[in-house]
Amino acid sequence: MGQLDGKTALITGASSGIGRATAIRLAREGAGLAVCSRNTERLDRVRSEVENIGGKCVAQACDVGRMEDCTALVNGILDMAGGIDILVNNAGVGYSGAVVDSDPAEAEEMVRVNLLGVYHMTRAALPVMIAGGAGDIVNIGSVAGLKYSPNFGVYSATKFAVRAFSEALRNEVQGHGIRVGVVHPGMTQTAFFQSFSKGGSPVPADMGELLPAEEVAEAILCMVTRPPGAAVNEMTVRPAWQER
């Protein structure tokens, strides 16, 4: 038996990286999955991977920056599974560059996806979870949300905001049996750093010892499998060599 048998998990940004690793890890523990992303081709591959290990998975295109997309997705899950036990807000984008020559369109996209996307999906799913009387919400932050760095001002701002939003939400919903946690990944083996175009990736080109995405998935699993009376509200997972 798996630790999550009978539970339904919704994972955003699940087409690659941390989202994909989390989908596979939670499926191995028995959770039924609903996964979403803007990249439907890669999302379908994740669905196939989950099904190949015996899991159940529904994949649907969703732009978390659009409230209507989030509402439609949650309504579909409700019709299919009757509830949502776990929500992992993982979708995110990142661009680097000094503020003085940054692209306002990129800045707006980071705010829309990284912050409003967390709000939108949480707002859509929360009434369902409150009605169920229990649940776990895990938001993916970043070490950039703990300590700012030059050339990552807007990205860091969105992740600082996710941390603040999560703590406020935790206090709002704890009376409903819902736990809220934030996982702050360090430098992780994903394609995410490729989007840090202007200021350059903080990862040296020859640095191969990045954190496997599966280690972040394990942290998420730890949060959502605690006994009902225990809550892990914040966890930072870095490569051992990473200074900040």
The residues assigned a catalytic role are 155
Q: Residue 109: helix, strand or coil by DSSP? A: helix
33 Cβ neighbours under 8 A, 6+ residues apart: 8, 9, 10, 11, 23, 26, 27, 50, 55, 56, 57, 58
Cα–Cα distance list, 62 to 71, 77, 120, 176 (Å) = 10, 13, 11, 27
Selection from 190, 92, 106 nearest residue 139 by Cα: 92
Give me 24's structure tokens.
């596979």
Q: Are 32 and 56 in contact (CB under 8 A)?
A: yes
Selection from 223, 219, 222 nearest residue 233 by Cα: 223
